[in-house]
Chains A and B, each alone.
Chain A
Amino acid sequence: MISMHRNGPIALLFHTLVVGFVLAPLVVICLVALTPANTLTLPTTQFSLRWFTAVFAHPDFVASFLNSLWVAAIAATIAVVLAVAAGLALDRFDFRGRAALNALFLSPLMIPHLVLGVALLRLFALLGATGSLVWLTAGHIVVITPYVLRLVLAALSGLDRSAEQAAVTLGASGWVVFRRITVPMILPGITGGWLLAFINSFDELTMSIFITSPATVTLPVRMYMYATESIDPMMAAVSALMIAITAAAMLLLDRIFGLDKILVGQG
Chain B
Amino acid sequence: MSSARAGTTPWLLAAPGALLFTALVVVPLVLTLVLSFHVYDTASGVKDETTLSHYAIILSDSYFLNIFWRTLRLAALTTLICAMIGAPEAYILSRMREPWRSIFLLAIIGPLLVSVVVRAFGWSMLLGPTGLVNEAFRALGLGTVKILYTETAIVIALVHVMLPFMVIPVWTSLQKLDPMVEAAAWTLGASRLTALGRVVLPQVTMGLLSGSLVVFGLSASAFAIPALLGGRRLKMAATLVYDEYMHELNWPLGAAIAILVLVINLVIMLAYQRVVEARARRTLG
Given A205-B223, A223-B117, A263:B164 Cβ within 8 A: yes
User: What is the distance, in angstroms, from B93's C-beta to the closest C-beta of chain A?
Assistant: 8
- Residue B278 at the A interface, CB < 8 A? no
B125 touches A32 (CB 8 A): yes
Cα-based distance from A259 to B88 in the complex (angstroms): 22
A15 touches B119 (CB 8 A): no
User: What is the distance, in angstroms, from B8's C-beta to the closest C-beta of chain A?
Assistant: 9
User: Which A residues are in CB contact (< 8 Å) with B120?
Assistant: 227
Chain A residues 229 to 267 lying within 8 A of chain B, measured CB to CB, are 231, 235-236, 239, 242-243, 246-247, 249-250, 254, 259-260, 263-264, 266-267
A227 touches B92 (CB 8 A): no
User: Which B residues are in CB contact (< 8 Å) with A114?
Assistant: 221, 223, 238, 241-242, 258, 261
- Residue A188 at the B interface, CB < 8 A? no
A209 touches B183 (CB 8 A): no
Q: In the complex, what residue of chain A is closest to B103 when comparing beta carbons?
A: A19
- Residue A179 at the B interface, CB < 8 A? no
User: What is the distance, in angstroms, from B169's C-beta to the closest C-beta of chain A?
Assistant: 5
Chain B residues 80 to 128 lying within 8 A of chain A, measured CB to CB, are 85, 88-89, 92-93, 95-97, 102, 104-126, 128
B168 touches A224 (CB 8 A): no
User: What is the distance, in angstroms, from B114's C-beta to the closest C-beta of chain A?
Assistant: 5
B32 touches A22 (CB 8 A): no
Given A19-B107, A112-B262, A122-B28, A93:B3 Cβ within 8 A: yes
User: Which B residues are in CB contact (< 8 Å) with A28?
Assistant: 122, 125-126, 132
- Residue A48 at the B interface, CB < 8 A? no
Given A4-B186, A263-B164, A243:B118 Cβ within 8 A: yes
User: Which B residues are in CB contact (< 8 Å) with A83?
Assistant: 17
Q: In the complex, what residue of chain A is closest to B270 when comparing beta carbons?
A: A110
Given A15-B92, A42-B132, A263-B164, A203:B27 Cβ within 8 A: no
How many contacts between A and B, using CB within 8 angstroms? 273
Chain B residues 1 to 56 lying within 8 A of chain A, measured CB to CB, are 1-4, 6, 9-11, 13-14, 16-18, 20-22, 24-29, 31-32, 35
Q: Which of B107, B115, B121 is the one whose CB lies under 8 Å from A246?
A: B115
- Residue B70 at the A interface, CB < 8 A? no
Given A25-B123, A115-B221, A228-B228, A203:B116 Cβ within 8 A: yes
A242 touches B32 (CB 8 A): no
- Residue A29 at the B interface, CB < 8 A? yes
- Residue B245 at the A interface, CB < 8 A? yes
Q: In the complex, what residue of chain B is closest to A8 when comparing beta carbons?
A: B192
Chain A residues 85 to 134 lying within 8 A of chain B, measured CB to CB, are 85-86, 88-96, 98, 101, 104-105, 107-108, 110-116, 118-123, 126
Q: In the complex, what residue of chain A is closest to B255 when comparing beta carbons?
A: A118
B107 touches A206 (CB 8 A): no
User: Which B residues are in CB contact (< 8 Å) with A155?
Assistant: none
User: Which A residues are in CB contact (< 8 Å) with B92?
Assistant: 7, 11-12, 14-15
- Residue B149 at the A interface, CB < 8 A? no
User: What is the distance, in angstroms, from A71's C-beta to the closest C-beta of chain B?
Assistant: 14
Given A104-B25, A118-B254, A224:B111 Cβ within 8 A: no
Q: In the complex, what residue of chain B is closest to A267 when comparing beta carbons?
A: B168
Cα-based distance from A69 to B174 in the complex (angstroms): 38
User: Which A residues are in CB contact (< 8 Å) with B28?
Assistant: 116, 119-120, 122-123
- Residue B250 at the A interface, CB < 8 A? no
User: Which B residues are in CB contact (< 8 Å) with A118?
Assistant: 32, 241, 245, 251, 254-255, 258
Given contacts A24-B132, A92-B2, 20 further A-B contacts (CB under 8 A): A7-B92, A11-B95, A14-B88, A15-B104, A18-B108, A23-B111, A40-B125, A40-B130, A82-B16, A86-B18, A89-B11, A95-B6, A105-B17, A112-B261, A114-B221, A115-B261, A119-B29, A203-B113, A206-B238, A264-B109
Q: When A and B form their complex, which 9 residue pairs have the shortest distance between CB atoms, in order from nearest?
A: A25-B122, A119-B28, A112-B221, A267-B168, A94-B3, A93-B10, A89-B10, A203-B115, A89-B13
A-B contact pairs, 6 of them (CB 8 A): A82-B20, A93-B4, A107-B21, A114-B238, A118-B241, A250-B113
